[in-house]
Amino acid sequence: MANVTPVTVAAKSAPSSPKPTKVKRQSIVRLVDANGAMLRIVLRARKDGKSVTTYIVEIKRLEDGTKVSRKGATQEHSNMLDATKTVDSLLAQAQKLNWVRRESRNKPDAFTSANLPVGAKS
């Protein structure tokens, strides 16, 4: 018989720590005016987490159908709290200038939980 050396297999260890929760790094508030122009208030955090940028993008459609966008009001912030306060302030200013939050494009529910559709009989 041949010499057989026993092999030890290391048991899988449990993960040392749970996966960190994903942190939201971007937020966009969309506003429209009566003529169909759009204003986006953007909050974007850097991947390294060292700073947060807020800015506004205005998007207009010209008479010939082309879209023109302009970026402005750019500000750098050291933390998310300050950036969120800035977004809230910019939102309040825009609403005073007749910009309104865009309504959701989601379709309304076709049925409720009390009124479920009937399936075909087999």
What tens digit of pLDDT does each residue of 58-70 get?
999 888 889 999 9
Over residues 84-101, the mean pLDDT reads 92
Domain extents in the chain:
26-99
Question: Could you tell me the pTM of the whole model?
Answer: 0.65
Q: For residues 35 and 14, is the Cβ–Cβ distance under 8 A?
A: no
Reported as a pLDDT band with limits 50, 70 and 90, residue 6 is low
- Please tell me the class of the 26-99 domain: alpha beta
Give the E-state strand segments of the chain in sequence order: 26-32, 38-45, 52-61, 67-77, 100-101
